A and B are shown apart, each in its own frame.
Chain A
Amino acid sequence: MNSEAIVKETRAYHCLECGVCTSSCPVARVNPSFSPRLLVEKAIFGFGDEIVRDRDLWSCLVCGRCTSRCPSNVDYLNFIKEMRIEASKLGQKGLFSHDGIFNTIMELQSLSLQQKRTFWITDDLEVADEGECFYFVGCLPYFDLVFGEGGYCDVGLKPTDRARNTVRILNKMGIKPVVSNDERCCGHDLLWNGDLEGFRRLAELNLKTIKKSGAKKVICLCPEGYVTLKRDYPLYLGEQDLEVVQLYRLLADKLKEGKLNFVESGSDNPVKVTFHDPCSLGRIAEIYEEPREILSGIPGIELVEMERNRADALCCGTSGWVNCSSCSKQIQIERLKEAEATGADILLTACPKCGIHLSCAKYNSDIKIEIKDITDLIVEKMV
Protein backbone atom coordinates (compact mmCIF):
# COMPACT_ATOMS: atom_id res chain seq x y z
CA MET A 1 0.00 0.00 0.00
CA ASN A 2 1.47 3.38 -0.93
CA SER A 3 1.18 6.29 1.47
CA GLU A 4 -1.76 7.78 -0.44
CA ALA A 5 -3.67 4.53 -0.06
CA ILE A 6 -2.74 4.36 3.64
CA VAL A 7 -4.09 7.89 4.17
CA LYS A 8 -7.36 6.84 2.52
CA GLU A 9 -7.63 3.50 4.26
CA THR A 10 -7.01 4.86 7.75
CA ARG A 11 -9.17 8.00 7.25
CA ALA A 12 -6.10 10.14 7.95
CA TYR A 13 -7.44 12.88 5.65
CA HIS A 14 -10.16 13.49 8.28
CA CYS A 15 -7.45 14.88 10.58
CA LEU A 16 -8.51 18.22 12.06
CA GLU A 17 -4.98 19.07 13.23
CA CYS A 18 -6.39 19.40 16.74
CA GLY A 19 -3.38 17.69 18.32
CA VAL A 20 -5.32 15.48 20.74
CA CYS A 21 -3.24 12.54 19.52
CA THR A 22 0.09 14.15 20.36
CA SER A 23 -1.09 15.46 23.71
CA SER A 24 -2.40 11.96 24.57
CA CYS A 25 0.73 10.18 23.42
CA PRO A 26 2.87 8.80 26.27
CA VAL A 27 5.98 8.89 24.07
CA ALA A 28 5.45 12.54 23.04
CA ARG A 29 5.25 13.50 26.73
CA VAL A 30 8.81 12.34 27.34
CA ASN A 31 10.25 12.75 23.83
CA PRO A 32 9.12 16.09 22.36
CA SER A 33 10.53 15.24 18.92
CA PHE A 34 7.95 12.48 18.53
CA SER A 35 4.59 13.63 17.27
CA PRO A 36 1.78 11.41 15.98
CA ARG A 37 0.08 14.48 14.51
CA LEU A 38 3.18 15.40 12.54
CA LEU A 39 3.44 11.89 11.11
CA VAL A 40 -0.17 12.02 9.93
CA GLU A 41 0.30 15.53 8.51
CA LYS A 42 3.39 14.43 6.59
CA ALA A 43 1.44 11.55 5.06
CA ILE A 44 -1.45 13.81 4.04
CA PHE A 45 0.84 16.30 2.36
CA GLY A 46 2.61 13.58 0.38
CA PHE A 47 5.77 13.11 2.42
CA GLY A 48 5.19 9.39 2.93
CA ASP A 49 8.77 8.70 1.81
CA GLU A 50 10.02 10.73 4.74
CA ILE A 51 7.90 8.76 7.21
CA VAL A 52 9.12 5.33 6.14
CA ARG A 53 12.71 6.48 6.65
CA ASP A 54 11.98 8.22 9.96
CA ARG A 55 13.37 6.47 13.04
CA ASP A 56 10.45 7.85 15.02
CA LEU A 57 8.12 5.54 13.11
CA TRP A 58 9.39 2.78 15.41
CA SER A 59 9.00 4.78 18.62
CA CYS A 60 5.21 4.48 18.59
CA LEU A 61 4.06 2.02 21.26
CA VAL A 62 0.87 1.17 19.34
CA CYS A 63 -0.89 1.66 22.65
CA GLY A 64 -3.97 3.06 20.91
CA ARG A 65 -4.49 6.04 23.20
CA CYS A 66 -4.52 8.48 20.28
CA THR A 67 -6.85 6.28 18.23
CA SER A 68 -9.31 5.98 21.09
CA ARG A 69 -9.42 9.77 21.59
CA CYS A 70 -9.26 11.07 18.02
CA PRO A 71 -12.43 13.12 17.36
CA SER A 72 -12.16 12.36 13.61
CA ASN A 73 -11.76 8.64 14.11
CA VAL A 74 -8.38 8.41 12.39
CA ASP A 75 -7.18 4.83 12.65
CA TYR A 76 -3.71 5.65 13.88
CA LEU A 77 -2.86 2.06 14.85
CA ASN A 78 -3.34 0.78 11.32
CA PHE A 79 -1.63 3.87 9.96
CA ILE A 80 1.50 2.91 11.89
CA LYS A 81 1.18 -0.77 10.98
CA GLU A 82 0.85 -0.11 7.24
CA MET A 83 3.66 2.47 7.28
CA ARG A 84 5.91 -0.03 9.03
CA ILE A 85 5.06 -2.71 6.47
CA GLU A 86 6.08 -0.25 3.75
CA ALA A 87 9.22 0.74 5.64
CA SER A 88 10.34 -2.85 6.12
CA LYS A 89 10.02 -3.42 2.37
CA LEU A 90 12.81 -0.82 2.09
CA GLY A 91 14.86 -2.67 4.67
CA GLN A 92 14.07 -0.26 7.49
CA LYS A 93 13.48 -1.63 10.95
CA GLY A 94 13.31 -0.57 14.56
CA LEU A 95 16.11 -0.90 17.03
CA PHE A 96 15.61 -4.32 18.61
CA SER A 97 16.11 -4.60 22.33
CA HIS A 98 17.81 -7.60 23.98
CA ASP A 99 20.11 -7.88 20.92
CA GLY A 100 17.08 -8.83 18.83
CA ILE A 101 16.77 -12.23 20.50
CA PHE A 102 12.97 -12.32 20.37
CA ASN A 103 12.84 -11.45 16.70
CA THR A 104 15.32 -14.25 15.99
CA ILE A 105 13.30 -16.68 18.13
CA MET A 106 10.18 -15.82 16.13
CA GLU A 107 11.99 -16.29 12.84
CA LEU A 108 13.45 -19.62 13.98
CA GLN A 109 9.97 -20.81 14.85
CA SER A 110 8.87 -20.47 11.25
CA LEU A 111 11.30 -23.28 10.34
CA SER A 112 10.21 -26.89 10.78
CA LEU A 113 12.15 -27.53 13.97
CA GLN A 114 10.65 -29.79 16.63
CA GLN A 115 10.32 -27.51 19.65
CA LYS A 116 10.25 -28.70 23.25
CA ARG A 117 8.28 -25.72 24.50
CA THR A 118 6.06 -27.63 26.94
CA PHE A 119 8.87 -28.13 29.48
CA TRP A 120 6.95 -26.00 32.00
CA ILE A 121 4.17 -28.55 32.49
CA THR A 122 4.30 -30.13 35.93
CA ASP A 123 2.77 -33.47 36.96
CA ASP A 124 -0.21 -31.94 38.75
CA LEU A 125 -1.47 -30.26 35.57
CA GLU A 126 -3.90 -32.03 33.29
CA VAL A 127 -3.35 -31.33 29.61
CA ALA A 128 -4.26 -33.21 26.46
CA ASP A 129 -2.89 -33.67 22.92
CA GLU A 130 -6.32 -33.52 21.36
CA GLY A 131 -9.58 -32.02 22.48
CA GLU A 132 -12.18 -29.28 22.25
CA CYS A 133 -10.18 -26.52 23.92
CA PHE A 134 -6.73 -25.31 22.89
CA TYR A 135 -4.72 -23.26 25.36
CA PHE A 136 -2.52 -20.89 23.34
CA VAL A 137 0.51 -20.41 25.59
CA GLY A 138 2.40 -17.93 23.41
CA CYS A 139 5.93 -16.76 24.20
CA LEU A 140 5.92 -17.62 27.92
CA PRO A 141 8.42 -20.54 27.72
CA TYR A 142 10.92 -18.32 25.90
CA PHE A 143 10.42 -15.43 28.32
CA ASP A 144 11.31 -17.84 31.10
CA LEU A 145 14.64 -18.65 29.50
CA VAL A 146 15.55 -15.01 28.88
CA PHE A 147 14.18 -13.26 31.98
CA GLY A 148 14.31 -16.13 34.43
CA GLU A 149 17.11 -17.27 36.69
CA GLY A 150 20.40 -17.61 34.80
CA GLY A 151 18.93 -16.02 31.67
CA TYR A 152 20.98 -13.28 30.14
CA CYS A 153 18.39 -10.63 31.06
CA ASP A 154 17.83 -12.13 34.50
CA VAL A 155 15.34 -9.93 36.34
CA GLY A 156 14.26 -12.78 38.58
CA LEU A 157 11.00 -13.56 36.81
CA LYS A 158 9.23 -16.82 36.11
CA PRO A 159 6.77 -16.05 33.32
CA THR A 160 5.73 -19.71 32.88
CA ASP A 161 4.02 -19.40 36.29
CA ARG A 162 1.23 -17.74 34.28
CA ALA A 163 0.97 -20.76 32.02
CA ARG A 164 0.81 -23.15 34.99
CA ASN A 165 -1.74 -20.85 36.65
CA THR A 166 -3.90 -20.86 33.54
CA VAL A 167 -3.93 -24.66 33.25
CA ARG A 168 -4.62 -24.96 36.98
CA ILE A 169 -7.59 -22.60 36.68
CA LEU A 170 -8.91 -24.35 33.57
CA ASN A 171 -8.56 -27.75 35.28
CA LYS A 172 -10.63 -26.39 38.17
CA MET A 173 -13.31 -25.36 35.66
CA GLY A 174 -13.32 -28.92 34.40
CA ILE A 175 -11.45 -28.11 31.21
CA LYS A 176 -8.51 -30.25 30.12
CA PRO A 177 -6.82 -27.98 27.57
CA VAL A 178 -4.70 -29.01 24.61
CA VAL A 179 -1.13 -27.77 24.89
CA SER A 180 1.14 -28.40 21.94
CA ASN A 181 4.86 -28.49 21.26
CA ASP A 182 4.11 -27.43 17.69
CA GLU A 183 2.60 -24.10 18.71
CA ARG A 184 4.51 -21.03 17.54
CA CYS A 185 4.64 -17.42 18.57
CA CYS A 186 1.36 -15.82 17.45
CA GLY A 187 3.20 -13.37 15.17
CA HIS A 188 1.91 -10.20 16.86
CA ASP A 189 5.34 -8.62 17.14
CA LEU A 190 6.35 -9.49 13.59
CA LEU A 191 3.13 -7.99 12.21
CA TRP A 192 3.48 -4.77 14.21
CA ASN A 193 7.13 -4.51 13.24
CA GLY A 194 6.19 -4.61 9.58
CA ASP A 195 7.16 -8.22 8.77
CA LEU A 196 3.92 -9.33 7.12
CA GLU A 197 5.45 -12.40 5.50
CA GLY A 198 6.91 -13.64 8.78
CA PHE A 199 3.55 -13.09 10.45
CA ARG A 200 1.74 -15.11 7.77
CA ARG A 201 4.17 -18.02 8.08
CA LEU A 202 3.67 -18.26 11.85
CA ALA A 203 -0.09 -17.78 11.60
CA GLU A 204 -0.45 -20.57 9.03
CA LEU A 205 1.61 -22.96 11.16
CA ASN A 206 -0.43 -22.12 14.25
CA LEU A 207 -3.76 -22.60 12.53
CA LYS A 208 -2.53 -25.96 11.23
CA THR A 209 -1.51 -27.02 14.75
CA ILE A 210 -4.80 -25.88 16.31
CA LYS A 211 -6.92 -27.59 13.65
CA LYS A 212 -4.90 -30.79 13.90
CA SER A 213 -5.70 -30.99 17.60
CA GLY A 214 -9.42 -30.97 16.77
CA ALA A 215 -10.02 -27.87 18.88
CA LYS A 216 -12.90 -25.53 18.11
CA LYS A 217 -12.11 -23.11 20.91
CA VAL A 218 -8.83 -21.33 21.67
CA ILE A 219 -8.19 -19.85 25.08
CA CYS A 220 -5.60 -17.09 25.41
CA LEU A 221 -4.22 -15.55 28.54
CA CYS A 222 -1.91 -13.13 26.72
CA PRO A 223 -3.97 -10.15 25.49
CA GLU A 224 -1.71 -9.66 22.45
CA GLY A 225 -2.14 -13.30 21.49
CA TYR A 226 -5.87 -12.91 21.93
CA VAL A 227 -6.26 -9.90 19.61
CA THR A 228 -3.94 -11.47 17.06
CA LEU A 229 -5.81 -14.76 16.90
CA LYS A 230 -9.22 -13.16 17.15
CA ARG A 231 -8.81 -10.19 14.82
CA ASP A 232 -5.65 -10.51 12.70
CA TYR A 233 -5.77 -14.20 11.72
CA PRO A 234 -9.20 -13.81 10.06
CA LEU A 235 -8.10 -10.48 8.58
CA TYR A 236 -5.02 -11.85 6.84
CA LEU A 237 -5.82 -15.55 6.41
CA GLY A 238 -9.58 -15.56 5.99
CA GLU A 239 -12.41 -16.52 8.33
CA GLN A 240 -11.53 -19.42 10.62
CA ASP A 241 -13.97 -21.79 12.24
CA LEU A 242 -12.56 -21.07 15.68
CA GLU A 243 -13.89 -19.44 18.78
CA VAL A 244 -11.16 -17.35 20.42
CA VAL A 245 -11.72 -16.61 24.11
CA GLN A 246 -9.83 -14.42 26.52
CA LEU A 247 -9.31 -16.15 29.87
CA TYR A 248 -10.64 -13.26 31.97
CA ARG A 249 -13.84 -13.11 29.95
CA LEU A 250 -14.31 -16.85 30.46
CA LEU A 251 -13.61 -16.56 34.18
CA ALA A 252 -15.98 -13.61 34.64
CA ASP A 253 -18.75 -15.79 33.15
CA LYS A 254 -17.81 -18.73 35.37
CA LEU A 255 -17.88 -16.43 38.39
CA LYS A 256 -21.43 -15.36 37.56
CA GLU A 257 -22.45 -18.98 37.08
CA GLY A 258 -21.01 -19.74 40.51
CA LYS A 259 -18.39 -22.12 39.13
CA LEU A 260 -15.43 -20.05 40.28
CA ASN A 261 -15.22 -19.76 44.06
CA PHE A 262 -12.68 -18.23 46.39
CA VAL A 263 -11.66 -18.84 50.01
CA GLU A 264 -13.16 -16.59 52.65
CA SER A 265 -10.83 -13.91 53.90
CA GLY A 266 -9.33 -14.67 57.30
CA SER A 267 -8.52 -11.06 58.12
CA ASP A 268 -10.53 -7.87 58.59
CA ASN A 269 -7.93 -5.79 56.82
CA PRO A 270 -8.31 -6.18 53.10
CA VAL A 271 -5.25 -6.37 50.88
CA LYS A 272 -5.18 -3.30 48.65
CA VAL A 273 -4.45 -3.97 45.00
CA THR A 274 -4.39 -1.82 41.91
CA PHE A 275 -4.82 -2.95 38.34
CA HIS A 276 -2.80 -1.95 35.28
CA ASP A 277 -4.91 -2.23 32.10
CA PRO A 278 -2.74 -3.62 29.31
CA CYS A 279 -3.23 -1.74 26.02
CA SER A 280 -4.19 -4.86 24.07
CA LEU A 281 -6.66 -6.03 26.68
CA GLY A 282 -8.18 -2.63 27.33
CA ARG A 283 -8.24 -0.16 24.48
CA ILE A 284 -7.84 -2.78 21.75
CA ALA A 285 -9.93 -5.76 22.95
CA GLU A 286 -12.15 -3.55 25.15
CA ILE A 287 -12.03 -5.94 28.08
CA TYR A 288 -12.11 -3.51 31.01
CA GLU A 289 -14.66 -4.83 33.45
CA GLU A 290 -14.02 -8.58 33.44
CA PRO A 291 -10.74 -8.52 35.39
CA ARG A 292 -12.34 -6.07 37.84
CA GLU A 293 -15.37 -8.33 38.29
CA ILE A 294 -13.07 -11.23 39.12
CA LEU A 295 -11.11 -9.11 41.60
CA SER A 296 -14.26 -7.87 43.31
CA GLY A 297 -15.32 -11.50 43.69
CA ILE A 298 -12.25 -12.35 45.76
CA PRO A 299 -12.89 -11.82 49.50
CA GLY A 300 -10.28 -9.79 51.33
CA ILE A 301 -9.16 -7.91 48.24
CA GLU A 302 -9.84 -4.23 47.77
CA LEU A 303 -9.28 -2.73 44.35
CA VAL A 304 -8.08 0.85 44.27
CA GLU A 305 -7.89 2.48 40.86
CA MET A 306 -4.94 4.41 39.56
CA GLU A 307 -5.60 7.92 38.33
CA ARG A 308 -5.35 6.79 34.74
CA ASN A 309 -7.36 3.61 34.34
CA ARG A 310 -9.40 1.76 31.73
CA ALA A 311 -9.28 3.62 28.37
CA ASP A 312 -6.96 6.25 29.86
CA ALA A 313 -4.43 3.74 31.17
CA LEU A 314 -0.77 4.37 30.51
CA CYS A 315 1.16 1.89 28.35
CA CYS A 316 3.89 -0.23 29.96
CA GLY A 317 6.44 1.60 27.83
CA THR A 318 7.64 -0.83 25.15
CA SER A 319 6.04 -2.92 22.48
CA GLY A 320 7.24 -5.54 20.03
CA TRP A 321 10.71 -5.55 21.64
CA VAL A 322 11.77 -2.48 19.63
CA ASN A 323 13.02 0.96 20.57
CA CYS A 324 13.17 0.38 24.32
CA SER A 325 14.82 3.61 25.36
CA SER A 326 15.22 6.05 28.21
CA CYS A 327 11.73 7.25 27.22
CA SER A 328 10.36 3.75 27.87
CA LYS A 329 11.98 3.75 31.28
CA GLN A 330 10.48 7.15 32.12
CA ILE A 331 7.01 5.94 31.15
CA GLN A 332 7.43 2.77 33.23
CA ILE A 333 8.67 4.62 36.30
CA GLU A 334 5.79 7.09 35.94
CA ARG A 335 3.33 4.19 35.89
CA LEU A 336 4.94 2.49 38.90
CA LYS A 337 4.84 5.74 40.88
CA GLU A 338 1.20 6.17 39.94
CA ALA A 339 0.54 2.67 41.27
CA GLU A 340 2.40 3.43 44.50
CA ALA A 341 0.44 6.65 44.95
CA THR A 342 -2.79 4.63 45.28
CA GLY A 343 -1.46 3.15 48.50
CA ALA A 344 -1.86 -0.37 47.11
CA ASP A 345 0.37 -3.21 48.25
CA ILE A 346 0.23 -5.05 44.96
CA LEU A 347 0.21 -3.90 41.34
CA LEU A 348 -1.68 -6.45 39.28
CA THR A 349 -1.03 -6.90 35.59
CA ALA A 350 -2.93 -8.99 33.10
CA CYS A 351 -0.33 -9.21 30.34
CA PRO A 352 2.95 -11.13 30.67
CA LYS A 353 4.82 -8.44 28.75
CA CYS A 354 3.53 -5.62 30.97
CA GLY A 355 4.69 -7.72 33.92
CA ILE A 356 8.17 -8.05 32.43
CA HIS A 357 8.53 -4.39 31.48
CA LEU A 358 7.29 -3.02 34.78
CA SER A 359 9.43 -5.50 36.75
CA CYS A 360 12.47 -4.49 34.71
CA ALA A 361 11.90 -0.82 35.51
CA LYS A 362 11.30 -1.65 39.18
CA TYR A 363 14.51 -3.70 39.30
CA ASN A 364 16.56 -0.55 38.66
CA SER A 365 14.66 1.75 41.00
CA ASP A 366 13.79 2.12 44.67
CA ILE A 367 10.09 1.45 44.07
CA LYS A 368 8.78 -1.16 46.45
CA ILE A 369 5.31 -2.11 45.18
CA GLU A 370 4.92 -5.83 44.52
CA ILE A 371 4.05 -6.77 40.93
CA LYS A 372 1.86 -9.79 40.36
CA ASP A 373 -0.29 -11.28 37.65
CA ILE A 374 -4.04 -11.60 38.23
CA THR A 375 -3.76 -15.35 37.67
CA ASP A 376 -1.28 -15.56 40.60
CA LEU A 377 -3.95 -14.10 42.86
CA ILE A 378 -6.74 -16.29 41.46
CA VAL A 379 -4.74 -19.49 41.96
CA GLU A 380 -3.80 -18.40 45.49
CA LYS A 381 -7.43 -17.77 46.50
CA MET A 382 -9.31 -20.30 44.39
CA VAL A 383 -11.15 -23.24 45.97
Chain B
Amino acid sequence: MSEEFEPNIVGFACNWCSYAGADLAGTSRMKYPPNIRIIRVMCSGRVSPAFILKAFQMGADGVLVTGCHPGDCHYIAGNLKCEKTMGTTRKLIDVLGIGEERLRLEWVSASEGSKFADVVTDFTNRIRGLGPLSGKSQG
Protein backbone atom coordinates (compact mmCIF):
# COMPACT_ATOMS: atom_id res chain seq x y z
CA MET B 1 0.00 0.00 0.00
CA SER B 2 1.54 3.28 -1.01
CA GLU B 3 1.00 6.14 1.36
CA GLU B 4 0.60 9.63 0.00
CA PHE B 5 3.36 11.99 1.04
CA GLU B 6 2.29 14.39 3.75
CA PRO B 7 4.67 17.31 4.10
CA ASN B 8 5.80 18.84 7.37
CA ILE B 9 5.37 22.57 7.26
CA VAL B 10 6.60 25.04 9.85
CA GLY B 11 4.77 28.34 9.98
CA PHE B 12 6.08 31.43 11.75
CA ALA B 13 3.23 33.82 12.54
CA CYS B 14 3.54 37.24 14.11
CA ASN B 15 1.69 37.83 17.35
CA TRP B 16 -0.21 40.94 16.28
CA CYS B 17 -1.62 40.17 12.81
CA SER B 18 -0.99 36.74 11.36
CA TYR B 19 -1.43 34.67 14.50
CA ALA B 20 -4.73 36.46 15.10
CA GLY B 21 -5.54 35.76 11.43
CA ALA B 22 -4.86 32.07 12.01
CA ASP B 23 -7.02 32.24 15.11
CA LEU B 24 -9.83 33.80 13.10
CA ALA B 25 -9.55 31.02 10.53
CA GLY B 26 -9.96 28.56 13.38
CA THR B 27 -12.85 30.24 15.18
CA SER B 28 -14.60 30.75 11.83
CA ARG B 29 -14.23 26.99 11.24
CA MET B 30 -12.41 27.41 7.95
CA LYS B 31 -10.74 24.28 6.74
CA TYR B 32 -7.06 24.08 5.88
CA PRO B 33 -4.59 21.16 5.81
CA PRO B 34 -3.26 20.06 9.20
CA ASN B 35 0.34 19.79 7.96
CA ILE B 36 1.36 23.19 9.31
CA ARG B 37 2.83 23.63 12.78
CA ILE B 38 2.53 27.25 13.78
CA ILE B 39 5.15 28.97 15.91
CA ARG B 40 4.09 32.31 17.29
CA VAL B 41 6.75 35.02 17.28
CA MET B 42 6.35 38.59 18.47
CA CYS B 43 7.20 39.98 15.03
CA SER B 44 8.07 38.55 11.63
CA GLY B 45 11.23 40.66 11.93
CA ARG B 46 12.36 38.29 14.68
CA VAL B 47 12.45 35.34 12.27
CA SER B 48 16.15 34.95 11.71
CA PRO B 49 17.40 33.04 8.66
CA ALA B 50 18.92 30.68 11.22
CA PHE B 51 15.41 29.67 12.43
CA ILE B 52 14.35 28.88 8.89
CA LEU B 53 17.43 26.76 8.21
CA LYS B 54 17.01 25.03 11.56
CA ALA B 55 13.44 24.13 10.62
CA PHE B 56 14.64 22.50 7.40
CA GLN B 57 17.45 20.73 9.23
CA MET B 58 14.99 19.33 11.77
CA GLY B 59 12.77 17.86 9.09
CA ALA B 60 10.51 20.55 7.64
CA ASP B 61 9.68 20.26 3.93
CA GLY B 62 8.46 23.84 3.72
CA VAL B 63 8.57 27.02 5.81
CA LEU B 64 5.90 29.70 5.74
CA VAL B 65 6.55 33.10 7.30
CA THR B 66 3.59 35.40 7.84
CA GLY B 67 3.52 38.95 9.14
CA CYS B 68 1.52 42.18 9.18
CA HIS B 69 0.95 44.04 5.93
CA PRO B 70 3.59 46.72 5.21
CA GLY B 71 2.66 49.82 7.18
CA ASP B 72 0.68 47.82 9.76
CA CYS B 73 3.61 46.41 11.75
CA HIS B 74 3.11 46.73 15.49
CA TYR B 75 6.80 47.68 15.72
CA ILE B 76 6.61 50.03 12.72
CA ALA B 77 9.05 48.29 10.37
CA GLY B 78 9.73 44.74 11.62
CA ASN B 79 7.97 43.23 8.63
CA LEU B 80 10.10 45.29 6.25
CA LYS B 81 13.18 43.98 8.01
CA CYS B 82 11.81 40.48 7.55
CA GLU B 83 11.24 41.10 3.83
CA LYS B 84 14.80 42.38 3.47
CA THR B 85 16.49 39.39 5.09
CA MET B 86 14.15 36.99 3.29
CA GLY B 87 15.91 37.86 0.02
CA THR B 88 19.26 36.50 1.17
CA THR B 89 17.60 33.63 3.04
CA ARG B 90 16.06 32.52 -0.27
CA LYS B 91 19.49 32.65 -1.87
CA LEU B 92 20.97 30.78 1.09
CA ILE B 93 18.52 27.88 0.90
CA ASP B 94 18.91 27.77 -2.86
CA VAL B 95 22.71 27.51 -2.55
CA LEU B 96 22.29 24.81 0.11
CA GLY B 97 20.19 22.84 -2.38
CA ILE B 98 16.92 23.08 -0.45
CA GLY B 99 15.28 25.16 -3.17
CA GLU B 100 13.82 28.62 -2.72
CA GLU B 101 10.29 27.44 -3.58
CA ARG B 102 10.15 25.76 -0.17
CA LEU B 103 10.11 29.12 1.59
CA ARG B 104 7.21 31.54 1.35
CA LEU B 105 6.55 34.95 2.87
CA GLU B 106 2.96 36.26 3.09
CA TRP B 107 1.27 39.24 4.71
CA VAL B 108 -1.86 38.22 6.64
CA SER B 109 -3.79 40.68 8.79
CA ALA B 110 -5.86 39.82 11.85
CA SER B 111 -9.06 40.07 9.83
CA GLU B 112 -7.86 37.83 7.00
CA GLY B 113 -8.77 34.40 8.34
CA SER B 114 -9.81 33.20 4.91
CA LYS B 115 -6.55 34.44 3.37
CA PHE B 116 -4.60 32.51 6.00
CA ALA B 117 -6.54 29.32 5.21
CA ASP B 118 -6.03 29.84 1.45
CA VAL B 119 -2.30 30.50 1.80
CA VAL B 120 -1.77 27.40 3.94
CA THR B 121 -3.83 25.24 1.57
CA ASP B 122 -2.00 26.48 -1.49
CA PHE B 123 1.47 26.21 0.08
CA THR B 124 0.79 22.70 1.43
CA ASN B 125 -0.34 21.54 -2.02
CA ARG B 126 2.74 23.01 -3.61
CA ILE B 127 5.09 21.34 -1.16
CA ARG B 128 3.19 18.08 -1.55
CA GLY B 129 3.85 18.40 -5.28
CA LEU B 130 7.56 19.04 -4.71
CA GLY B 131 7.87 15.93 -2.54
CA PRO B 132 9.98 15.45 0.56
CA LEU B 133 13.17 17.42 1.02
CA SER B 134 15.71 15.01 -0.46
CA GLY B 135 18.34 13.67 1.83
CA LYS B 136 16.29 14.47 4.89
CA SER B 137 17.19 12.38 7.87
CA GLN B 138 14.36 10.02 8.72
CA GLY B 139 12.39 10.10 11.94
Write the residues of chain A forming the contact surface with B, with a CB cutoff of 8 angstroms.
98-101, 104-105, 107-109, 111-117, 119, 141-142, 145-146, 148, 150-152
Rounded to whole angstroms, the CA-CA distance of A140 and B120 in the bound complex is 35
Stretch at the interface among B3-11, B93-101, B106-114, B122-130: B93-101
Interface pair B50/A109, CB less than 8 Å apart: no
Task: Find the B residue at minimum CB distance from A149.
Answer: B88
Interface pair B95/A142, CB less than 8 Å apart: yes
Known contacts A145-B88, A150-B84; is-contact A108 B48 (Cβ 8 Å): no
B95: A residues at CB distance < 8 A: 115-117, 119, 141-142, 145
A114: B residues at CB distance < 8 A: 97, 134
Q: How far is the CB of A247 from chain B (nearest CB, A)?
A: 23
B133: A residues at CB distance < 8 A: 113
Rounded to whole angstroms, the CA-CA distance of A99 and B55 in the bound complex is 13
B91: A residues at CB distance < 8 A: 145
Rounded to whole angstroms, the CA-CA distance of A68 and B51 in the bound complex is 39
Interface pair B57/A107, CB less than 8 Å apart: yes
**For window 76-96 of chain B, which residues contact chain A by CB distance below 8 Å?**
84-85, 87-89, 91-92, 94-96
Rounded to whole angstroms, the CA-CA distance of A142 and B97 in the bound complex is 12
| B54 interface residue (CB < 8 Å to A) | yes
Known contacts A142-B92, A152-B85; is-contact A108 B134 (Cβ 8 Å): no
Known contacts A108-B56, A145-B88, A152-B88; is-contact A113 B50 (Cβ 8 Å): no
Interface pair A104/B48, CB less than 8 Å apart: no
Task: Find the B residue at minimum CB distance from A151.
Answer: B88
Q: How far is the CB of B90 from chain A (nearest CB, A)?
A: 10
Task: Find the B residue at minimum CB distance from A114.
Answer: B97
Q: How far is the CB of A140 from chain B (nearest CB, A)?
A: 11
Q: How far is the CB of A277 from chain B (nearest CB, A)?
A: 31
Known contacts A105-B96, A115-B96, A119-B95; is-contact A152 B56 (Cβ 8 Å): no
Rounded to whole angstroms, the CA-CA distance of A141 and B94 in the bound complex is 12
A146: B residues at CB distance < 8 A: 49, 88, 92
Rounded to whole angstroms, the CA-CA distance of A152 and B134 in the bound complex is 26
Interface pair B136/A111, CB less than 8 Å apart: yes
Known contacts A145-B95, A152-B85; is-contact A101 B134 (Cβ 8 Å): no
A142: B residues at CB distance < 8 A: 92, 95
Rounded to whole angstroms, the CA-CA distance of A114 and B51 in the bound complex is 21
Number of chain B residues whose Cβ lies closer than 8 Å to a Cβ of chain A: 25
Task: Find the B residue at minimum CB distance from A104.
Answer: B53
Max chain B Cβ within 10 angstroms of own Cβ: one of A113, A116, A117, A141: A113
Q: Chain B: interface secondary structure?
A: helix
Rounded to whole angstroms, the CA-CA distance of A116 and B98 in the bound complex is 10
Interface pair B92/A145, CB less than 8 Å apart: yes
Task: Find the A residue at minimum CB distance from B81.
Answer: A152
Interface pair A116/B88, CB less than 8 Å apart: no
Task: Find the B residue at minimum CB distance from A115.
Answer: B97
Interface pair B92/A113, CB less than 8 Å apart: no
Known contacts A142-B92, A150-B88; is-contact A99 B50 (Cβ 8 Å): yes
| B2 interface residue (CB < 8 Å to A) | no
Interface pair B87/A108, CB less than 8 Å apart: no
**For window 31-47 of chain B, which residues contact chain A by CB distance below 8 Å?**
none
Q: How far is the CB of A180 from chain B (nearest CB, A)?
A: 13
Interface pair A101/B136, CB less than 8 Å apart: no
Task: Find the A residue at minimum CB distance from B51.
Answer: A99
Rounded to whole angstroms, the CA-CA distance of A107 and B53 in the bound complex is 10
A145: B residues at CB distance < 8 A: 88, 91-92, 95
Interface pair B88/A104, CB less than 8 Å apart: no
Known contacts A107-B57, A108-B57, A111-B137; is-contact A98 B97 (Cβ 8 Å): no
| B135 interface residue (CB < 8 Å to A) | yes
Rounded to whole angstroms, the CA-CA distance of A112 and B138 in the bound complex is 13
Rounded to whole angstroms, the CA-CA distance of A146 and B49 in the bound complex is 9
A141: B residues at CB distance < 8 A: 95
Q: How far is the CB of A370 from chain B (nearest CB, A)?
A: 25
**10 pairs from A and B in contact (CB 8 Å cutoff):** A105-B53, A107-B57, A111-B134, A111-B136, A113-B97, A113-B98, A116-B95, A145-B95, A146-B49, A150-B88
B48: A residues at CB distance < 8 A: 99, 101, 152
Task: Find the A residue at minimum CB distance from B136.
Answer: A111
A100: B residues at CB distance < 8 A: 50, 54
Q: How far is the CB of A185 from chain B (nearest CB, A)?
A: 11
Interface pair B135/A111, CB less than 8 Å apart: yes
Interface pair A112/B50, CB less than 8 Å apart: no
A119: B residues at CB distance < 8 A: 95
- The 5 residue pairs across chains A and B that have the minimum distance between CB atoms: A113-B97, A99-B50, A112-B135, A111-B135, A101-B50
Interface pair A104/B135, CB less than 8 Å apart: no
Known contacts A145-B91, A150-B88; is-contact A108 B49 (Cβ 8 Å): no
Rounded to whole angstroms, the CA-CA distance of A114 and B136 in the bound complex is 12
